[in-house]
A and B are shown apart, each in its own frame.
Chain A
């Protein structure tokens, strides 16, 4: 440990403490930002102190859930991860986690780094953390205003993966053609995971689907079926590239509405049946990603199963809250593909659902709100009761609802998030559920007002 790093650590810890003390937030990025500015080699130096090395989790949707699932497993396996929680998934977030989990001498409380990173930050994170394992869950259009085009992003990620140590393992989603292409001709050990049953497949693709063309030759892919966005059973009629075989595969699935999914997973050496306590097909992918990583890291299957079944959702991603005898189910939706999965969840079951849709356009949400027009709101026709549109761009969301013809009469526009939540709760009866679907910073604000009411714990205690 260099003396320079000690000074950086002390300062970083001071900032984190002050930020929490002033209730300005969890201090999840500012300490790290400062540390990296003072010492550019702060992260590379600190990760050397981790005896079990580091794991990087990336992908457009499900990073936080996947990493938290994996943390739940690794904790049980005694591998004690240092994890950049609370969705601060840029390099500053990694640095902040390292500061939080170390003492002033630079000794880390954890043994393994578990870092979730934005797709755009992935190459830099590979360079700074020298991971022993990376997992890429999916690639969708998300905040293109920040990341540039999807094809460019994928090729930058592929280049970064090529620079990994030859002993490193690469875990990829076989069902996502762009992600799977990262593993082609790679000298490293590649583990593919995917869904190997067409039970929840559909013949048509949602608007939000992004990767429709073969990453090798550019021809249009043909699909036997689609599962979630552009994920599914694909092949290229022109060059013959097709979905690679998966080593970790969900072979049976049964969705239990709004509760979770029962599934049977085949893996090298066996088969396991488990219950995923999170709704939606996208969470099946998150679980498969976490399982593949844990198995590759040598965790036994019993511990993997316990880690998944005993999982508590990452804050805000899916959160169940009780408020005066009413239930709030808050599900984060930050891009078309994720939002479409939330919609698929909302169309299940009987009865009309009352919802709060909260759209912000801060930098962390993406300034451009065009993406809401790629969400299939039309699927909610005749499924909704009252709708409250909220957030900075509440009026844009209301327009989307109007043009989907979901019933203009049952629509309220209330930009103030706290008031919108109040109004939403007033619409549901005792014992009923209010569905709240926010973008990222809207979720932080909504969560803040729930904390104020004493309904949930502040996230930095979670």
Chain B
């Protein structure tokens, strides 16, 4: 069973080591003998119905984000939303997370429309939220936590149509107000966390791989891997987060 990952705008949306997330997904499939293919989806590229089992999108600078927003509205947004509704997995980080919501409202100028995967909207904030983050999450695996690094000024507010990825215990999270971090809708995860996120949070990587396999009709549990280094890095990041805040 082969899974196919659509890597959205790898040239434009890859600002903080987001490549590490793709690398982690690929290796964790390969180490289990699951064939995996990553396809770059650039501006103008269409998304065929049923072709992708997972989407990934990272963060970008303002200018890139505007270009991507336009392309999502013109060629891909509705298709991504449809694929996720039909069971595809997705991970959207930072700027990608914002564009997976309903809209982004800047201080000045027009609102950037999102693709409505998450019932969430983002407004520009004055303060930049920067630092290590720890969030309690059901997707945190044995540790029960998700760790990463946030760097955003947008404040994201969730509606009833999606659940938060976790509850912040260290750091700012979605909006520095309600202690939520990230969003989950079906097999799609949105989050502000870099790090890269997946290497240090292998249970989230495996959640996405399981969802993608599920789309191909497999409900077998994933073979377990030796995650001792991953968990050591998770523990180190957790300790560091507490100490640097």
Contacts of A52 in B (CB 8 A): none
Cβ of A189 to closest chain B Cβ, rounded Å: 30
Question: From residue 414 to 428 of chain A, which have CB atoms closer than 8 A to chain B?
Answer: 415
Chain A contacts for B211, CB-based, 8 A: none
**When the two chains form their complex, are residues B244 and A370 in contact, meaning their CB atoms are under 8 A apart?**
no
- When chains A and B are docked, how far (Å) is the Cα of A374 from the Cα of B22? 12
Total A residues in contact with B, Cβ cutoff 8 Å: 35
The yes or no answer to A305 lying at the interface (CB within 8 A) is: no
With A373-B20, A393-B236 as contacts: A405 and B27 at CB distance below 8 Å: yes
**From residue A359, how far is it (CB to closest CB) to chain B in Å?**
10
Whether A218 contacts B63 in the complex (CB less than 8 A), given A370-B149, A398-B233, A399-B199, comes out as yes
| Distance from B17 Cβ to chain A, minimum over Cβ atoms (Å) | 3
Q: Does B36 contact A (CB under 8 A)?
A: no
Are the CB atoms of A145 and B130 closer together than 8 Å? yes
Instruction: Return chain A residues, CB-CB under 8 Å to B62.
Output: 149, 151
Cβ < 8 Å to B, chain A residues 356-402:
361, 367-374, 392-396, 398-400, 402
Q: A150-B61, A367-B132, A392-B240 are in contact. Are A207 and B27 (CB under 8 A)?
A: no
A:138-193 near B, CB below 8 Å: 141, 144-145, 148-151
Q: In the complex, A405 Cα to B30 Cα: how many Å?
A: 12
Known contacts A399-B230, A413-B232: does B61 contact A151 (CB below 8 Å)?
yes
- How distant is A152 from chain B, measured CB to nearest CB, in Å? 8
Nearest-neighbour CB distance to chain A for B108, whole angstroms, equals 15
Residues A395 and B236 in contact, CB atoms below 8 Å apart:
yes
The CA of A398 and the CA of B232, in the complex, are separated in Å by 10
Which B112-155 residues sit within 8 Å CB-CB of chain A? Answer: 128, 130-132, 149, 151
Pair A367/B16 contact, Cβ less than 8 Å: no
Question: Contact at A403–B24, with CB atoms within 8 Å?
Answer: yes
A212 interface residue, CB < 8 Å from B? yes
Q: Assuming the A-B contacts A367-B131, A368-B194, are A398 and B11 also in contact, with contact meaning beta carbons closer than 8 angstroms in the complex?
A: no
**Pairwise interchain contact B61-A370, C-beta atoms closer than 8 A:** no
Residue A111 CB within 8 A of the other chain: no
B230 contacts A369, C-beta separation under 8 Å = no
Q: Which residue of B lies closest to A363 (CB)?
A: B244
In the complex, which residues of chain B have a beta carbon less than 8 angstroms from the beta carbon of A394?
236
Q: Is the CB of A373 within 8 A of B17?
A: yes
Which residues on A sit within 8 Å (CB–CB) of B18?
370, 373
Partner of B23, one of A367, A368, A403, A408: A403
A374 lies within 8 A of B131 (CB): no
Q: Which of A144, A148, A151, A396 has the most CB of B within 10 A?
A: A396
Cβ of A266 within 8 Å of any chain B Cβ, yes or no, is no
Q: Which residues of B contact A405 (CB under 8 A)?
A: 27
Chain A residues contacting B17 (CB-CB under 8 Å) are: 370-374
Bin the interface of chain B by size: 35 or more
A147 to chain B, nearest CB (A): 11
A403–B63 touching, CB < 8 Å: no
Contact A213 B63 (CB under 8 A): yes
> Given A371-B16, A373-B19, A413-B232, A393–B61 Cβ distance below 8 Å?
no
Instruction: Known contacts A370-B20, A374-B17; decide if A399 and B149 are in contact (CB<8 Å).
Output: no
A399 touches B200 (CB 8 A): yes
B16 engages A399 (CB within 8 Å)? no
Q: Give CA–CA (A373, B61) in the complex, Å.
A: 18
Cross-chain contact of A144 among B19, B151, B196, B199 (Cβ < 8 A): B151
A367 with B63: in contact, given A141-B15, A394-B236, A398-B233 (CB under 8 Å)? no
Q: Are A212 and B233 in contact (CB under 8 A)?
A: no
Q: How far is the CA of A196 from the CA of B16 in the complex (A)?
A: 31
Q: Contact check, B233 vs A144: say whether CB atoms are below 8 A apart.
A: no
Task: Pull 20 A–B residue pairs with CB atoms less than 8 Å apart, ordered by A.
Answer: A145-B131, A145-B151, A218-B63, A218-B67, A361-B244, A367-B149, A368-B149, A370-B18, A370-B20, A370-B194, A373-B23, A374-B17, A374-B19, A393-B237, A395-B233, A396-B199, A396-B236, A399-B229, A399-B233, A415-B236
Binding site for B on A (CB under 8 A): 141, 144-145, 148-151, 207, 212-213, 218, 220, 361, 367-374, 392-396, 398-400, 402-403, 405, 408, 413, 415
9 further A-B contacts with Cβ under 8 Å, apart from A393-B237, A408-B229, are: A141-B15, A144-B15, A145-B151, A149-B61, A368-B149, A393-B240, A395-B236, A396-B237, A403-B199
